[in-house]
Chain A
């Protein structure tokens, strides 16, 4: 498919670095799927759908900055939705979100809530001002926050907060956040033999976004994050490159 035109209807400033853009079309997506967002004349980058008709962007570079500065009436091109998305299962589930990683998890929380699932949300950020979707998540379940600087909630990394729960009482874990956080969560789940009931949404460099070019494949499975993922079960990731290295735009390995 070639990009379809989407007109920005609303821009919501979520945190000092993160904005939500709502547009005039609703891609028919399941939670965890992403779209390739074409900022004409600049770049095309992958973004999770945080809303049926919206994305939530952290300003980290050229393309995301241009996106963050867009106003109602501006337009972008969208290809997608692509990727597998989360598999909705479990009666008593834990959502673990770090930073902008909360974006793909918000529609998941909404859908699971509609199914009557009991949800605990662990939301982490560097500092209290950067906590994303705290209020929205709290409508779907019990929420607990952690900040690196202790400005709100638990002072420290999110695995510390996980420690305060009886992890064995959950039957599915959904995780998205910075790579090292996801690795730490995976290791902790593994310690409790729970990695096979976990789903992680990964981030790798995407070029085509549709499973052809090979720039997003992970070791040692050779699976494509854009097509076979971005959501993978913890047991596939246990002995993978997650938290060790990723590849840059040239394909060169970069250690974390």
Chain B
């Protein structure tokens, strides 16, 4: 008997993002579709940034997780259109990011508040950070530097 796709979504929600392990690949919004094509499970992924080295690691982790649940017949499809957007980040993922110390993306172009002390008095240090999806900001009140998840 083939497991229902709802159950598979649940399994994938336990696969961590390799760079930000506090959120899952489902939270990140890169799993676009899970469907059975006959006996084969087809999982569609949309990469975050074109050159993000985590993409291939994510593909390996997804395949491994499904194999651990007894699914051997899996194909992964990489889809670039429509392009990934931070709007696809789940609410659960956004909350987890902030609790982890990474300010979640904000359409206004910068973090709304410091993820540590909640002050809104923040400044940008650099448009880029430790991974392609992040920028560096600093809180002017508690003075802590923090990562901001870029909004694209």
A, B: real partners: no
B residues near A (Cβ < 8 Å) are none
